[in-house]
Amino acid sequence: MSAGSSIGVDVGGTKVLAVRISVEGTVQDVATRPMPGRSAPEAEVEHAVVEAARAVSDGDGAAPIGVSAAGLVDRAGEHYLFGAHLPWRDAPLRSRLAEQTGHPVVLENDANCAAYAELLLGAARDVDSALLITIGTGIGGALVLDRRIVRGANGLAGEFGHMQVVPDGLACECGLRGCWEQYCSGRALERVTRVALGKHRDGPEVSRMALDGDDVARQAFATIGTWLGVGVAGLVSAFDPERVVVGGGVSAVGDLLLAPARSALLGSLQGTGHRPVPDLVPAALGPQAGAIGAALLARDGRP
């Protein structure tokens, strides 16, 4: 293993992705493991994290590991508090994983990790303020102001996916109703497609269908893209960023999602035509952004 390398592990709703990066941020190795599921025992999920990290560690126990986890992480980066798609509840996850791996471990929310990667290496590297929206199984979010991640008083800022956009709307796995991610996410995409087709198609298949020109799949992306723009308009009104960066697996179809989102943003934002409207752009680092950002945070000491 080269000197100064670090490891990032992204724990999502469907898989665990690990990368090893050089000190400059170049990806040197990648490994994946299946995510056991939100109902699996905590120890089983931790085992998948440890195995993914070991697969890219090349036997170097000194390399720091950053863990990117979807859900609520406390401000100190010690405890995983809650997540709709992961099983941990009020768990001292950083210390557990440090003990199990034998490596120094940094713990951070997944969207903050992705934002840090895009800030240093990707689509936000030339701006001082940005919003990051990650669209996968659910929605993650992060806010960058003055080139620093805003974590909030308790470390819980950026949970944009659980803003209520429809009072008494669709039930969310977090326990609330009408959350934004119920209308704009991988699961929302699958639901909209299922209603139209009368049968289930998973998110990657819907994406392939849309890219191949299927009208039903393209309309499904237009539907969730419109909801993306509506939600982004509220965030732009609140934070006035220079740029909005959209990442996550669902965004891989590019303008099939982003073009309706831009239209909805313009139609939902106060003062359009009389105020600057931020660019809404795809993330540059793709599905590895969370893992790369976790590795960068491990390298830099979670600034």
- How high is the pLDDT of residue 3? 58
For 119-156, the pLDDT digits (tens) are 999 999 999 999 999 998 889 899 999 999 999 999 99
Give this prediction's pTM: 0.89
1, 20 contact by CB (below 8 A) = yes
Domain 6-113+288-300 CATH assignment equals 3.30.420.40: yes
Instruction: Give the separation between CA 174 and CA 171, rounded to whole angstroms.
Output: 8
Q: Regarding the domain with residue range 126-283, which homologous superfamily does it belong to in the CATH classification?
A: ATPase, nucleotide binding domain (3.30.420.40)
- How high is the pLDDT of residue 249? 86
Instruction: Give the separation between CA 295 and CA 284, rounded to whole angstroms.
Output: 17
Q: What stretches in the chain show pLDDT beneath 50?
A: 1-2
Spell out the domain ranges in the chain.
6-113+288-300, 126-283
- How high is the pLDDT of residue 1? 44
HSE-up of residue 272 (Cα within 13 Å, Cβ side): 12
